[in-house]
Structures are given as C-alpha cells and as structure tokens.
Amino acid sequence: MTNPVENTIRELVENNDVVLFMKGTKSMPQCGFSSRVAGVLNYMGVEFTDVNVLADDALRQGIKDYSDWPTIPQLYVKGEFVGGCDIVTEMTLSGELDTLFDDKGISFSKEAADKIREANG
C-alpha cells in the first residue's frame, strides 16, 4: 500500500511538466543548490512547479525515498527524474538539458541557455 506522501509526490510529478523539489521556493530559495537550479530554470524561462520540502518533513524524506536520491533539489521533467544540482548544472553546460526540454516539448529560451554556457565556458 502506498502512503499519502508518495501519492502526493506522484501526483505532482505526473500532473506538472516540470517540477523542482527544493528547499524554499523559486522566488525565495533557502539553499545554494536549490537557488542554482531554480535560477537556471528561471533564467531559461522554463515554467515549473516548485515544491518546498522545508514546509513538510514527511515530503522532504518522501521525495528522497521516491527517487532513491539522497539530496535536494530534485528536478523532474514530464514524470522523469532528471537529477540534482550537479547533474542539472552539467546538463545545462553540455547542452543536454536543451535536448531534454526539446525532446519533451518543454519551452525554454535557447538564447538564455547559450548565454549560461558562454558565461561558464
């Protein structure tokens, strides 16, 4: 039997194209890693749902169990777990994130993505 937290997480992941489980909110992140991933998504103009794991201890542990990934933030695109801060950063710099968004039909600013790569190149 699934628990209510797992059901909540599954609904969030399945019913939203892009979901970021993070510490804080997209407008007020409360950790550097969450801030970096939210910043990349915001800068690239990606519409995403932010879920503040600090607001709910059960959710905070639940998302780690759900993904079998030990850290926050966690990015999901079209129901698929993408990764945490390091993976999202690497994918942004390599262009893999652009490809993923293209493949999944997620709109984003290619120009902004290129600017991130130029700034970090």
Residue range 26-85, pLDDT digits in tens = 999 999 999 999 999 999 999 999 999 999 999 999 999 999 999 999 999 999 999 999
Domain carrying residue 102: 4-120
Mean pLDDT, the chain, rounded, equals 96
- Predicted TM-score (pTM) of this structure: 0.95
Taking only the tens place, the pLDDT of each residue in 76-118 is: 999 999 999 999 999 999 999 999 999 999 999 999 999 999 9
Task: Tell me the two tokens of residue 11.
Answer: 């609904």
For the cut 90, the answer to whether the pLDDT of residue 1 exceeds it is: no
Among positive and negative, which fits the CA dihedral 29, 27, 80, 96? negative
CA distance 82 to 90: 11
For position 88, which CATH number holds?
3.40.30.10
Instruction: Specify the 3-state DSSP secondary structure of 16.
Output: coil
pLDDT of residue 42: 97
Number of compact structural domains in the chain: 1
